[in-house]
Amino acid sequence: MNEIINACFEAIHLLITLDPEVMEITLRTLYISLTSTVIAALIAVPLGGYIHFRKFRGKRTLVNIIQTLYSMPTVLVGLLVFLIISNQGPLGNLHLLFTPGGMIMGQTILVLPIITGFTILALSGVKDEIKDLSLALGASEFQAIETIMHEAKYALLGALILGFGRAISEVGVAMMIGGNIRGYTRVITTTMSLETSKGNVELSIALGIILLILALIINLVLNYVQEK
């Protein structure tokens, strides 16, 4: 018990003194996960919009598949991306394996379904009458879609935050694609995994606290946004 308490004090010390390694890992984690989320959002929001606004056969099945992919195991995505970007894979010549670029690619794939699915959900939450109203007030089809997006903006932001939450907290892709290389691809979750197995729990606890704080901030923002 004492060990845990001591480790907690040590962790707080690392945080207060802004330990360079802790800060570096945190910033890299934020960089990789934020970039993945932004890239995923650029693909997923228009894609979700397209699926929502178009009528086509198999739409329901497609939405079901997307929803199933929310719970895709991170190690499975890791494996998939590994096979694609390893030297023998189709994108092997890009040399993305064990680089932050490869991690970004993996996390992007991981959060794409969540953001797409929640974009569809966000847009379905806007009443059909909003489209009629904007058309009746003189909007073009495109302007009407813009208006619907605007009506759904808080729910859309919620979708992005959820995607970011999944990216920052996952370990499978980061470990398998990043390789946990110190000073290059090491992120919070992979560090915690490694340091705990080495018995260096102070660093793990410090990083765990940071991860929790980030999760708290995400939740606070989400709550604030949804209250609006």
Applying CB under 8 A, which residues contact other proteins? 127, 129-130, 132-141, 143, 147, 150-151, 153
Q: Quote the strand ranges of the chain, DSSP E.
A: none
CB of 154 vs other proteins, minimal distance in Å: 9
Name the burial class of residue 17, with classes exposed (0-12), middle (13-18) and buried (19+) by CB atoms within 10 angstroms of its CB: exposed
Of the two residues 59 and 127, which places its CB atom closer to other proteins in the complex?
A: 127
DSSP annotation of 126: S
CB of 87 vs other proteins, minimal distance in Å: 51
Of the two residues 152 and 206, which places its CB atom closer to other proteins in the complex?
A: 152
**Are the beta carbons of 189 and 170 closer than 8 angstroms?**
yes
Give, in order, the Cα–Cα distances in Å from 221 to each of 43, 169, 210: 23, 17, 16
Give, in order, the Cα–Cα distances in Å from 68 to each of 62, 63, 110, 146, 153: 10, 9, 12, 28, 24
CB of 80 vs other proteins, minimal distance in Å: 39
CB of 77 vs other proteins, minimal distance in Å: 36
